[in-house]
Amino acid sequence: MLSLWCFNHAVAYLEIRELQKHFVKKAGGLLTSHTETVKAVDGVSLEIQKGEILGLVGESGCGKSTFSRTLMQLIPPTSGAIILNGENVSALSAKEVRKRRLDFQMVFQDPYASLNPRMTVFSTIAEAIRQRHKGMKGAELEKKVAELMATVGLDASQMKRYPHEFSGGQRQRIAIARALAPEPKLIIADEPVSALDVSIQSQILNLLKDLQRDLGLTMIFISHDLGVVHYIADRIAVMYKGKIVEVGSADEVFNRPTDDYTKRLLASIPKLRQD
């Protein structure tokens, strides 16, 4: 009985409880000045299992990036808890947060803007490795950089090149290698293929899927495109105005949505594709 209970109630690898991030802004003119609260993330609760890709989808401005920045602890939450592997990381001191931040790595939309143009691929990836393995250097470091480049499908003989010498898709591979380098527990990919050509998009999506299978990667994949999210995610959470309106298996949400907003999002896909 006990084992059955444990099986049915497996503890989530990442648990997000009632997460809120509100921004208070000044609005109005000189005489009519008042403050306005933007509820960018408004009580999000989600559970993610180890090795799972959770897709987070929603229209522009619904709060996806604010959610990911709060999760990364780049900005403090207004309220709520983030529990990673049983530890409440939202209750740690600033020093502890800096250490734990290595466990959360991001891949951004624009791989060119997110890479330092003055650093070679070797320096970029080596720096990320040394965040976790401070003493690593010389041949050992070079071998590790070469391994990571091979993992993301890059030619390790090109490690002394600079970002501008690579294509957009290759640059996103560099950004993925950099994210993997500190051996994170979770990768948050915020619109990682939105800036890429459609033909390159599927290469990057397949790479992320391969990494999930081969490395047991746990990931939150953020996109405004339900079609892309359906392709890559195991489960999908739909966000609307800072709240999660629907969560389910990728096929359930894509093929049998229950929420009206999800239905509208789904209906907008063919229109977008015709453009």
Ligand X SMILES: Nc1ncnc2c1ncn2[C@@H]1O[C@H](COP(=O)(O)OP(=O)(O)OP(=O)(O)O)[C@@H](O)[C@H]1O
In 74-218 the beta strands, taken as DSSP E runs, fall at 79-84, 87-88, 104-107, 186-190
Taking CA atoms, 72 is separated from 22, 186, 212, 231, in Å, by 16, 10, 20, 25
Please choose which of ligand X, Mg ion, none residue 171 contacts, taking the beta carbon within 5 to 8 angstroms, the exact cut-off set by kind. none
CA distance 120 to 126: 10
Residues 13-32 contacting ligand X, CB under 6 A = 23, 25
Least distance to ligand X, CB of residue 215, Å? 27
Nearer to Mg ion, 67 or 122 (CB): 67
Q: Judged by CB under 6 A, does residue 230 bind ligand X?
A: no
CA distance 62 to 65: 9
Please choose which of Mg ion, ligand X, none residue 170 contacts, taking the beta carbon within 5 to 8 angstroms, the exact cut-off set by kind. none
Q: Judged by CB under 6 A, does residue 108 bind ligand X?
A: no
**Could you tell me which residues come within 8 angstroms of residue 170 by beta carbon, excluding any fewer than 6 positions away?**
154
State the chain's maximal CA–CA distance in angstroms.
67
Residues 49-88 contacting ligand X, CB under 6 A = 58, 60-66
Pick one of 14, 40, 46, 250: the residue that binds ligand X (CB under 6 A): 40
Q: Judged by CB under 6 A, does residue 187 bind ligand X?
A: no
Pick one of 224, 232, 254, 262: the residue that binds ligand X (CB under 6 A): 224
Pick one of 12, 38, 119, 141: the residue that binds ligand X (CB under 6 A): 38
Beta strands 14-27 and 79-84, pairing class:
antiparallel
One-letter amino acid for residue 81 of the chain? A
Give the interface with ligand X as residue ranges (CB under 6 A): 23, 25, 38, 40, 58, 60-66, 224
